[in-house]
C-alpha cells in the first residue's frame, strides 16, 4: 500500500525533466510524510486499540462505582432518582444499627462457606479423576460443565421444586430411608443448605476444569520421582498435586469468594421473594440491596450497601494477598 504511494510515477520521469524533478521532490516529501504518519501510527495506535475497552469501562464501570459512593451520602428515592438530598454518613450509620443488614451479612457468609468449601473440594477430587486416562473423557468434561450453561434462574426454579416440602423429589428420597419431610425453605440452615446446593451444582464442574488444566501442567517427572520414593497415589496427590496447584487453588478461592459475596439470583428465586424467606433466613447482601432499592425505594441506602460490599471484597482481597504472600515465603 505505502509502496504505491512512495513510488514516483515512472511515466512522469521519462517525459520531461522539470516535472520529473517536481515528482521526485513530491515523492520525497511523501516518503517523509509516510514515515511521519508511520511513526505517529505506531505511537498512538496502541491507545486506539485499548480505548474502546477503557471508554466503556469508564462509562459503565468506574463512573457508576464512584457515583454509587456519592449517592450513598444522599437520600434518594426510587420515584424521583434525580432529586438527591445530602445526608452525610447517615446511610452508613443506619446500616450499622440495622439488624437486617447484619442478618444479610451473616447469611452471605454462611451460605458462602457452605457453597464454596464443598464446591472446591469436590472440584479438586473430580479434576483428579478427570486427569486419569479415560474413555470418553470429552463426554465427562462436557457433562460436568453443563450446569455452567444453565442460568441461575432456570437452575433455581428446578431446585426449588426438587427441594419442595410436600412433593419434592429430595424429600421423597429421604422418606425412602426413613427421614421425615424436611421443610427446606422455612428452616434457616436447611434453606441455606438448599441455596448453597444450587451454587455447588452450577460451579463444581467449572472449577474442576480449571484444576484439571493446572494438573496437566504439573511435570510428570515429579510424579515419577515421588513414585520411586514409594509414595502411594494418595500421597502423590497430597504432596505433589496439591502443592503444585496452590496458586490455582488460591485463585479459585478468590473468584468463588467474590461470587459468594454477590450471591443474588439463587436466594431471590428460591422462594420467589426479595425478603429471602419469611424471616429473612436466606437473604443475602445482594438481595437486601435489591429490597432496599427497589422495594423500599431507598436508592441511597442501597448504594451504601453496595459500598459496604465493596469494602468487604477489598478486605477479602487483602486477606487473600497476605495469605498468598505468607505461603510464598514459607515455601
Partner 1 sequence: MPATLRRRTPGSRPGGRPGTEADDATEGHTRADGTGTARRGRGPRLRKAGGAGRQLHAGPFAYAVLVLFTVGSLFPLVWTAIAASRDNQRLAETPPPFWFGGNLFANLTTAWQDANMGKALVNTVFVAGCITLSTVLFATLAGYAFAKLRFRAKNLLLMMVIGTMMVPPQLSVVPLFMAVAELEWTNQLQAVILPMMVNAFGVFFMRQYLTGALPTELIEAARVDGAHSLRIVWHVVFPVARPAMAVLGMLTFVLAWNEFFWPIIALTQDNPTVQVALTGLGRGYIPDESVIMAGALLGTLPLLIAFTLFGKQIVGGVMQGAVKG
Pick out residues in 118-177 that bind partner 1 (CB under 8 A).
Answer: 125-126, 129-134, 138-162, 166-169, 172, 175
Q: Which is nearer to partner 1, 15 or 43 (CB)?
A: 43
Which residue in the block uniquely carries the three cell numbers 505433589?
Answer: 240
Rg (the chain; Cα; Å): 30
Pick out residues in 199-258 that bind partner 1 (CB under 8 A).
Answer: 201, 204-206, 209-210, 212-214, 216-217, 219-221, 223-224, 233, 247-248, 251-252, 254-255, 258
* Distance (Å, whole) CA 70 – CA 57: 18
CA 103 to chain centre: 24
Enter the C-alpha cell of residue 280: 429473612
Pick out residues in 254-273 that bind partner 1 (CB under 8 A).
Answer: 254-255, 258-259, 261-262, 264-265, 268-269, 272-273
Q: Which is nearer to partner 1, 9 or 145 (CB)?
A: 145
Q: How far is the CB of 15 from partner 1 (least distance, A)?
A: 27
Beta bridge pairs of residue 80: 77
Q: How far is the CB of 215 from partner 1 (least distance, A)?
A: 10
Question: How is 42-81 classified by DSSP, letter by letter?
Answer: HHHHHHHHHHHHHHHHIIIIIHHHHHHHHHTTEEEETTEE
262 phi and psi angles, rounded to 5 deg: -90, 5
Q: How far is the CB of 248 from partner 1 (least distance, A)?
A: 5
Opening angle at CA 289, ends 116 and 92, nearest 5: 105
Q: For residue 140, how many other CB atoms are within 10 A of its CB?
A: 16
Q: Site mask, partner 1, residues 84-123, x = CB under 8 A?
A: ----------------------------------------
Pick out residues in 29-68 that bind partner 1 (CB under 8 A).
Answer: 34, 37-38, 41-43, 45-50, 52-54, 56-57, 60-65, 67-68
User: What 8-state DSSP symbol labels residue 241?
Assistant: I
| Bridging pattern class, strands 74-77 and 80-86 | antiparallel
Q: Which is nearer to partner 1, 110 or 150 (CB)?
A: 150
* Distance (Å, whole) CA 72 – CA 76: 9
Q: How far is the CB of 256 from partner 1 (least distance, A)?
A: 8
Q: How far is the CB of 76 from partner 1 (least distance, A)?
A: 8
User: What 8-state DSSP symbol labels residue 298?
Assistant: B
Which segment (18-26, 89-97, 185-193, 285-293) binds partner 1 by CB under 8 A? 285-293
Q: Which is nearer to partner 1, 20 or 206 (CB)?
A: 206
Q: How far is the CB of 160 from partner 1 (least distance, A)?
A: 7
Q: How far is the CB of 58 from partner 1 (least distance, A)?
A: 10
Measured in Å, how far apart are the chain's first and last C-alpha atoms? 56
Amino acid at each position: 500500500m505505502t509502496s504505491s504511494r512512495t513510488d514516483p510515477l515512472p511515466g512522469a520521469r521519462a517525459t520531461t525533466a522539470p516535472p520529473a524533478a517536481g515528482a521526485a521532490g513530491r515523492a520525497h516529501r511523501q516518503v517523509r510524510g509516510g514515515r511521519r504518519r508511520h511513526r505517529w501510527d505506531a505511537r498512538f495506535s496502541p491507545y486506539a486499540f485499548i480505548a474502546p475497552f477503557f471508554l466503556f469501562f469508564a462509562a459503565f464501570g468506574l463512573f457508576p462505582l464512584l457515583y454509587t459512593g456519592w449517592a450513598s451520602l444522599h437520600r434518594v428515592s426510587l420515584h424521583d432518582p434525580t432529586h438527591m438530598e445530602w445526608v452525610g454518613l447517615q446511610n452508613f450509620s443506619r446500616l450499622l444499627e440495622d439488624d437486617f443488614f447484619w442478618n444479610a451479612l451473616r447469611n452471605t457468609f454462611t451460605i458462602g462457606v457452605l457453597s464454596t468449601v464443598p464446591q472446591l473440594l469436590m472440584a479438586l477430587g473430580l479434576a483428579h479423576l478427570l486427569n486419569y486416562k479415560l474413555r470418553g473423557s470429552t463426554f465427562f468434561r462436557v457433562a460436568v460443565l453443563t450446569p455452567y450453561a444453565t442460568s441461575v434462574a432456570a437452575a433455581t426454579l428446578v431446585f426449588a421444586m426438587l427441594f419442595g416440602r410436600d412433593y419434592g423429589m429430595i424429600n421423597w428420597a429421604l422418606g425412602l430411608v426413613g427421614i421425615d419431610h424436611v421443610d427446606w425453605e422455612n428452616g434457616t440452615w436447611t434453606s441455606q443448605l438448599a441455596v448453597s446446593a444450587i451454587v455447588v451444582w452450577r460451579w463444581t464442574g467449572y472449577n474442576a476444569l480449571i484444576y484439571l488444566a493446572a494438573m496437566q501442567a504439573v511435570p510428570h517427572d515429579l510424579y515419577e520421582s515421588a513414585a520411586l520414593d514409594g509414595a502411594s497415589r494418595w500421597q502423590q496427590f497430597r504432596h505433589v498435586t496439591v502443592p503444585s496447584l496452590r496458586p490455582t487453588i488460591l485463585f479459585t478461592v478468590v473468584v468463588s469468594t467474590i461470587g459468594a459475596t454477590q450471591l443474588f439470583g439463587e436466594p431471590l428465586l428460591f422462594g420467589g421473594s426479595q425478603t429471602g424467606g419469611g424471616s429473612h433466613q436466606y437473604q443475602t447482601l445482594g438481595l437486601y440491596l435489591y429490597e432496599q432499592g427497589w422495594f423500599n425505594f431507598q436508592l441511597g441506602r442501597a448504594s451504601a450497601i453496595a459500598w459496604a460490599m465493596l469494602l468487604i471484597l477489598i478486605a477479602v482481597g487483602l486477606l487473600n494477598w497476605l495469605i498468598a504472600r505468607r505461603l510464598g515465603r514459607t515455601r
